[in-house]
Every structure is written in C-alpha cells, then in structure tokens.
C-alpha cells in the first residue's frame, strides 16, 4: 500500500492524533507559550462564582483547570476531563485532584451539576460540535456559563514558512485531507460569526465573542519543537519514510536559523466565546 494514501489504515493501527506521546513536550513548550494566556482570559470571561463547580472539557495537562481553581477559590471543585491518559498524568503531577478520562458527547455526569463549563481549543477536534455543545449545556446549571476558544485565521510568517515547507514534502492536499479528519471544525470556527451561531444553536443567551491577539517570544529551536507536536507534524511523521522525515527536519531547521537567528516574536489570534444557560 502506498504510504501517502494509507491514512485510514494508519488511523486504525497507530493513532497519530493521540496526545499521549507528546504530553510532556506539550506541557513544557506549548502550554506556556501558546495556551496559558488564552486560558486565563477565557476563565476570566466565564466569571465563575466563588466555590463553583466547573468542568474543563479537553483539559489537556490542566492549564485552564488550574486557572479556574484560582479564580473560584479554595472551595471550588474543578473536574478535568480528557481522552488522553498521557495528558491527565501530567495534570495529576500538577496537583489537580479531579481527573476523568472521557470526551464529549458522552459526559459521565448528571444534568445541571456545573456552574461553569469550558473547552479551550477543543471543539475543532470533535466529529459534531453541535452534539458536543448540547452535551456540555446538559451538565450546566440554569444561569451557568459555558465558554470555549478557537484559533483565528491569521498566519504569522513563521508558521506560514513551516507550512509551505511541509506542503513540499508531503503535498498540500494530502496534509489538508488528514487535518480535516483530525480537526474537522478548525477552519469553520476561525470566523467570529460561527462561534456566536454555535452557542445560539445550543440554546445559550447573553453571548459574547472576543477576538484577541497573543504574542510570544520563543527561540527557533523551541518553536520548531512546538511545531513537531502539532497534528500536521505528527501526520507527516506517519506518512513520510523515516529518511524523508529527517530530511524535512534538517531542512526546516537550517531555513529557520538562516533566516531568523535565535529568537522569534510570534503572534496568534484567538476567538473567545461565552454564553449563559437560560433559567428554566
């Protein structure tokens, strides 16, 4: 079978989209440089009450859950739910006590038990964002708030260069096809109106959608290490022969160090959306 056309078979035997093998790198590099500030702002928009019960869907290594605990105080109960045991193991090391292995749309909770539910860059991953949101609303109390974040469409020159080089090694269509499988809603959620539409369809009111930019200073080596744990890179690692994968890594490393030296000032844009469950 042609490796470049064997994505379905790969998915059956080696789940390249799993975060289990990249959890430590994700927490060391991606969390501080990419995910912490949007999570902090999302938790602030959620306005959790004191001693709240909250659920972090797709919690990863716990960045948003920890911030929610700080926001709601020592009497709060924040449950971190994720499908990756590797991510949850790292979250456990941070002292998060309430960890659940699972995913939407089958949340293992009763109806109306949480004051707040958040999903930080999660809804792009699910097969049906509509079903996922309805399930998250189900476990939310009347008057409770639900918030989620999504990437905007802006592309920095650094990520554009990495992507253009990846397309040369694998092929733009092949990469796009695989990413649509892993992230079916990422492009759709890159438009502000779609976030508002999704929350309205889920039955929420008092909807707020904010568009924000986040900048970070990162070394070339750390930037490229972050890129290697993205879905694009993990898919490439599966589709390419080992020698060609190493050739890509050497090529991109040389290109970045030649062009940019040691430090990058990267920027990403993010949408933050929050809605309230009506009182019944």
> Is 237 a member of any domain?
no
What the block records as the tokens of 180 is 């649509």
Residue 242: inside a domain? no
- The structural domain count of the chain equals 1
168: in domain: no
∠ at Cα 35 (203, 120), nearest 5°? 15
The verdict on residue 109 lying in a domain is yes
Angle between helices 242-260 and 231-239 (to 10 degrees): 140
Position 145 in a domain? yes
Inter-residue contact 151 to 211 (CB < 8 Å): no
* pTM of the full structure: 0.91
Within a 10 A sphere around the Cβ of 128, how many other Cβ atoms?
Answer: 14
Rounded CA gap, 156 and 159, in Å? 5
HSE-CB for 174 with a 13 A CA cutoff: 20
Q: Running along the chain, 280 residues long, what does each successive block of 10 average in pLDDT?
A: 30 62 95 96 97 97 97 95 96 95 94 98 96 98 98 94 93 85 93 96 98 96 95 90 96 96 94 95
Domain that holds residue 205: 3-153+184-215+268-276
> For residue 261, what pLDDT is reported?
87
Answer yes or no: are the C-beta atoms of 56 and 79 closer than 8 Å. yes
pLDDT of residue 6: 29
In this structure, are residues 218 and 256 in contact, taking their beta carbons and an 8 Å threshold?
no
Q: Alpha-carbon distance 56 to 84, whole Å? A: 14
CATH number at residue 199: 3.40.50.150
Would you state the pLDDT for residue 82? 96
């Amino acid at each position: 079978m042609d490796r470049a056309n064997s994505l379905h078979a790969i998915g059956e035997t080696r789940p390249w989209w799993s975060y289990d093998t990249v959890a430590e790198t994700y927490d060391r590099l991606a969390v501080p440089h990419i995910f912490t500030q949007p999570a902090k702002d999302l938790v602030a928009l959620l306005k959790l009450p004191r001693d709240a019960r909250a659920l972090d869907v797709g919690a990863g290594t716990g960045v948003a859950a920890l911030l929610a605990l700080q926001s709601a105080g020592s009497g709060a109960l924040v449950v971190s739910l994720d499908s990756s045991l590797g991510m949850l193991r790292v979250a456990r090391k941070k002292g998060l006590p309430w960890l659940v292995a699972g995913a939407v749309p089958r949340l293992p909770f009763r109806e109306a038990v949480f004051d707040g539910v958040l999903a930080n860059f999660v809804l792009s991953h699910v097969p049906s964002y509509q079903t996922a949101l309805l399930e998250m609303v189900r476990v939310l109390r009347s008057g409770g708030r639900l918030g989620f974040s999504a990437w905007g469409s802006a592309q920095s020159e650094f990520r554009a260069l990495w992507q253009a080089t990846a397309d040369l090694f694998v092929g733009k269509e092949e990469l796009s096809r695989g990413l649509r499988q892993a992230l079916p809603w990422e492009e759709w959620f890159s438009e502000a109106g779609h976030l508002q539409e999704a929350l309205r369809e889920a039955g929420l009111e008092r909807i707020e959608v904010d568009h924000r930019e986040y900048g970070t200073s990162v070394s070339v080596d750390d930037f490229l290490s972050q890129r290697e744990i993205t879905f694009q890179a993990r898919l490439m690692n599966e589709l390419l022969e080992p020698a060609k994968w190493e050739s890509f890594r050497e090529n991109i490393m040389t290109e970045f160090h030649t062009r940019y030296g040691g430090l990058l000032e990267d920027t990403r844009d993010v949408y933050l959306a929050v809605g309230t469950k009506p009182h019944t």
